[in-house]
Amino acid sequence: MKKTVLLFLLSILSLNFFLNKALSAQHIYVSEKGFYELKEKFDRLNGPDYNLLNGRQYDILNSGESHPYFNTDRYRSGRLLLNGEAYDSDTINYDIFDQQVILQYPGISGQDLKVVLNREMIDHFQIDGLTFRLMSFPETGSSFFQVVSSGDISCFLLWKKTLSRSTVSGNTSYKYSKQSREVYLQRESRLYVVRSRSSFTSIYDEAYRKEIKEFLRQEKIRFRNASDEKLGELMNFCIKLIHSG
């Protein structure tokens, strides 16, 4: 029932988008009035659900074969927690470059439409089996972090892309870079960026560094390309080491 409600409301929203683009200022006023009248009638019948109505239509630059998304430009099933409400099996994608979660849904004419979800309402979302949470730190600002582990020592990944621009013969083209990541460690309310084994071990007291260095060597962990599983194993090792000390 909830998914049907959301699709209905989003279809109304998509109609409003197209009217806003196509009509004059006077007609826009009429279309907005009609939109809210329809929404009011729907709310009386089904109850309001505002979570997915706070977004805006999603547009990306024409960038050839490159794209701003996480892993792939294919929209796929994901899970969302917005404003305390859980939404399962919605079709989404994650725009790394602009740090946005995009919802895809069928429009009233049958074509797929995309809307940017209000990021401040997103507690977390899941895509490709990975969990991302919106967090804000002085060092990074507000961003979506992939949660590798959480607890006394938490490990997060911040995924990024850059955009390059070139102009040839008056034509401007854009290209997104390959995705890259930064590894962050949170311990005792402090956030650390980890780029090497030495920067990782320096976070810990001298009494633990020798054993941590040995674990890193034995497991052949290099932070540039370590898998999520290896990073999780490292966090568990450090937590057990400190608690047993």
pTM confidence score:
0.77
Percent share of the chain, pLDDT over 90: 51
pLDDT digits (tens, 9 = 90+) for 25-66: 333 333 445 445 544 544 544 444 555 555 577 888 777 889
Q: Hey, where are the domains in the chain?
A: 1-49, 195-245
| Distant-in-sequence contacts of 69-78, Cβ < 8 A, 24+ apart | 69/93, 69/94, 69/95, 69/96, 70/94, 70/95, 70/96, 70/127, 70/128, 70/159, 70/179, 71/128, 71/179, 75/102, 75/104, 75/112, 75/114, 76/127, 76/128, 78/125, 78/126, 78/127
Ranges of beta strands (E only) in the chain are 56-57, 76-82, 85-95, 100-106, 112-116, 122-127, 130-137, 141-149, 153-160, 163-168, 171-176, 180-187, 190-194
Q: Would you place residue 168 in the very low, low, confident or very high pLDDT band (cuts 50, 70, 90)?
A: confident
pLDDT at 21: 43
pLDDT digits (tens, 9 = 90+) for 173-199: 889 999 999 999 999 888 999 999 999
